[in-house]
């Protein structure tokens, strides 16, 4: 993996306000992946591919990442980035809306990383659970959404996102097959281990 290119891609993304994973969140996920050594990871929300490229370092030998992105410009950039960093053989990018793509996937994954439209988290969870291997992990970023999720925040634009993030947290907590931790890193990270 070309670390210099990866750093350039990160800096460029930050400069252009592309929402990539925060450093402290990446650190926590990297620790989980180091222990788990996943063979297959599913990511929902690739943006320009930064997190997927970082995660690819922790795959088991021969492992693969599938990631999904719907914005054309980001798709083109992610594909270029995978080649620049030299990870194009490890990452497959599904192009389009995850709401349409997920139901037609039928693979099994050791880790699912949810990092896309907040209003769709309960749907993403259903799909992740359907494809998760035993002892697998579902990691969802931004679940505390600037603190709105745990406050009595109930305003206009973000209302649907907040309601759906609350539903996501309730579902992972109530699911007897999952053990969930909500971590206050970045914008809030839910880590759910399948028992």
> For binding to ligand SAM (CB under 6 A), which residues are involved?
19-21, 45-47, 50-51, 68-71, 74, 97-99, 115-117, 120
Structure tokens at 28: 């926590």
Q: Which is nearer to ligand SAM, 11 or 135 (CB)?
A: 11
Q: Which is nearer to ligand SAM, 20 or 132 (CB)?
A: 20
List the beta strands (DSSP E) in the chain.
40-44, 64-69, 91-95, 109-114, 132-141, 178-183, 189-194
Within 10 angstroms of residue 15's Cβ, the number of other Cβ atoms is 8
Q: Which is nearer to ligand SAM, 122 or 179 (CB)?
A: 122
135: left (phi over 0), alpha (psi -120 to 50) or beta: left
Q: Which is nearer to ligand SAM, 31 or 173 (CB)?
A: 31
Degrees to nearest 5, angle at CA 76 with 70 and 81: 115
The least CB distance from residue 195 to ligand SAM, in Å, is 26
Q: Which is nearer to ligand SAM, 71 or 80 (CB)?
A: 71
The least CB distance from residue 116 to ligand SAM, in Å, is 4
Q: What is the rounded CA–CA span in Å between residue 88 and residue 86?
A: 6
The least CB distance from residue 13 to ligand SAM, in Å, is 7
Element (H, E) at 35: helix 23-36
In this chain, which residue has its C-beta nearest to ligand SAM? 45
The least CB distance from residue 134 to ligand SAM, in Å, is 25
Q: What is the rounded CA–CA span in Å between residue 168 and residue 40?
A: 23
Q: Which is nearer to ligand SAM, 96 or 147 (CB)?
A: 96
Query: Percent helix, strand and coil across the chain, each rounded to 5?
Result: 50, 25, 30
The least CB distance from residue 19 to ligand SAM, in Å, is 4
The least CB distance from residue 118 to ligand SAM, in Å, is 9
């Amino acid at each position: 993996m070309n670390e210099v290119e990866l750093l350039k891609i990160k800096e460029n993304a930050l400069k252009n306000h592309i929402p990539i994973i925060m450093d402290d969140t990446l650190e926590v996920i990297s620790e989980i992946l180091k222990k788990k050594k996943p063979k297959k990871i599913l990511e929902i929300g690739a943006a320009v591919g930064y997190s997927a490229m970082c995660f690819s370092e922790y795959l088991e030998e021969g492992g693969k990442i599938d990631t999904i992105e719907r914005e054309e410009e980001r798709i083109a950039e992610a594909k270029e980035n995978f080649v620049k960093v030299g990870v194009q053989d490890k990452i497959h990018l599904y192009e389009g809306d995850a709401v349409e793509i997920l139901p037609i996937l039928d693979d099994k994954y050791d880790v699912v990383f949810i990092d896309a439209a907040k209003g769709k988290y309960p749907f993403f969870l259903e799909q992740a659970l359907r494809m998760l291997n035993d002892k697998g992990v579902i990691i969802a970023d931004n679940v505390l959404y600037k603190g709105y999720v745990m406050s009595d925040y109930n305003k206009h634009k973000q209302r649907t996102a907040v309601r759906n993030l609350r539903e996501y947290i309730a579902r992972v907590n109530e699911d007897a097959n999952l053990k969930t931790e909500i971590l206050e890193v970045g914008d809030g990270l839910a880590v759910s281990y399948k028992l």
